[in-house]
Amino acid sequence: MWRVSQPAAALLLAGVSAAPRNSGKTAPQASDSLTLTNAQQKAAWDDLHTGALNQSPPSGFSATSGAVVPSNIATAPVTAKAASDVPALTPYNFATVQKKLVIINPTDRKIAEVIRR
């Protein structure tokens, strides 16, 4: 048997929700392709690229748009700073591979954008 406190029961009966209201905006969804402007690419590079974290991929892998990132390449969610500077990056992960910043769809690990400097 479920026990609900009186205040909680009153809220449920009144149809009130404790969840934040949706402002009508939906969160951006990651896709397998992303096209950033030159200014957005520069901001992403400045916010995310770290040469010290450059990874060597397995033989035969090339960091190109549409390629699937191998499981032995570490990826991380885009930082809050990068997402603030370039909101389109919010749902993506990233990695530094072959001296390139790669923006990755976290769902299928496909490279959506490759940024070089």
Reported pTM: 0.75
Domain layout of the chain by residue ranges: 26-115
Distance separating alpha carbons of residues 65 and 58, to the nearest angstrom: 17
For domain 26-115, give its CATH number from 3.60.21, 3.40.720, 3.30.40, 3.10.450.
3.10.450
| pLDDT tens-digit series, residues 71-93 | 999 999 999 999 999 999 999 99
Phi, psi of 101 (to 5 degrees): -90, 120
Cα–Cα–Cα angle for 46, 117, 109, rounded to 5 degrees? 75
CB-based contact 101:94 (threshold 8 Å): yes
Least reliable range by pLDDT among 12-16, 24-28, 50-54, 59-63? 12-16
CB count in 10 Å sphere of residue 35: 10
pLDDT at 25: 56
> What pLDDT digit, counting tens, does each position of 9-47 carry?
333 333 333 333 334 456 578 999 999 999 999 999 999
